[in-house]
Each structure stands twice: as C-alpha cells, then as structure tokens.
Amino acid sequence: MTWIFKRCPNCGADGVEWVGDRFWRCPSCRFEYFHNVAAAAGVIVDSGGGVLLFERTREPSRGLLSLPGGFVDPGERAEDAAMRECREELGWTPSSLSFLATFPNRYEWDGVPYSTCDIFFSTRAEGMRVSELRMDETEGRSPVIVPFMEINYARLAFESTRRALRLYTELQWRI
C-alpha cells in the first residue's frame, strides 16, 4: 500500500515504507502513521419477517444491496452513529437498537483500502413505511423489504453484511 503516500507527510522524503499491514514509516525522519481499523455501524431494520435493503448509488459496490449504516464519527458512540445514519440515509430513525455482533470488513475509498470493524445492530421497523422513506439518493435508492429467507446473499455489497444477516437469521429461526 506504499503507493498511497508517495512522500512522507512529515518531512516530504521519498521511500515511505508500509509496515506489517498496519502503519507507514518514513526511513528519513522515522515518522510513523498508523492506518488503524475504522469503526462503522450498520442496522438490520426488521419488518417482522423481512429486512430493509437498498441499492447503493456510490462506490464501493455501487448497485449492490446494503443496510443503512456508515462510519462512526470521531467522538461519537456507535449507537448514535447507527441512529444518525438511518436518519440521514432513510429519513427515518429507529426508536431503539439492539446490539447484534461485529464483523471485520474491507472498504475502499478514493483508492485507499480501509480495514473496518463493522458494528451491527437490529431494530424493529415500527412505524416505518418503505413508500414514505426519504432516501438520500447520493447514498442509495430503491429501498425494499426482503424476506429473511429470500435474501440474495450474492447481491449484498459487503462480506460483513452477509455474516450479520446470516447470524441474525439463525438467531431468529434457530436454523
């Protein structure tokens, strides 16, 4: 991943090293910059038999299906990030959240691959009507409720989402 930073952000020297899949180190001034795991939150909105999915309208994985979710901001609780992302992406905010599990993911943005810790929550879709959602179309479109037994896992955007939905489905139906 050394090609991402061609020069040291501290002293400007060439030859920055990518060390241990974790940090960059400058051989000239010894400056180190850690590319830490980023936290993200995702929400399984359960209609009582189905999950809310929508089509991503941005990269990565544009055109594939996603849960509402996104990166946790600095200083923000993951629970609050999950609520905020639902509000921003769907125009609907859950009344409560239940923690499900975390799964690792890889997410590429502007050519930079990020390793993420995706934190999944579930909520009931009480009072939510898909036809009344106000999707942020820079994020997604075509929201739909998909019955848990009919999820097309190959069309999901991220491996972490596959694992979260499989786990949730197993827990609900003990399959």
For Zn ion, the binding residues (CB under 5 A) are 8, 10-11, 13, 26, 28-29, 31
Give me the least distance between CB of 10 and Zn ion, in Å please.
4
Give me the least distance between CB of 15 and Zn ion, in Å please.
9
- Output 32 or 170, the one with its CB closest to Zn ion: 32
- Output 2 or 152, the one with its CB closest to Zn ion: 2
- Output 16 or 156, the one with its CB closest to Zn ion: 16
Question: What's the 3-state SS for the chain?
Answer: CCCCCCECCCCCCECCEEECCCEEECCCCCCEEECCCEEEEEEEEECCCEEEEEEECCCCCCCCEECCEEECCCCCCHHHHHHHHHHHHHCCCCCCCEEEEEEEEEEEECCEEEEEEEEEEEEECCCCCHHHCCCCCCCEEEEEEEEHHHCCHHHECCHHHHHHHHHHHHHHHCC
Give me the least distance between CB of 11 and Zn ion, in Å please.
3
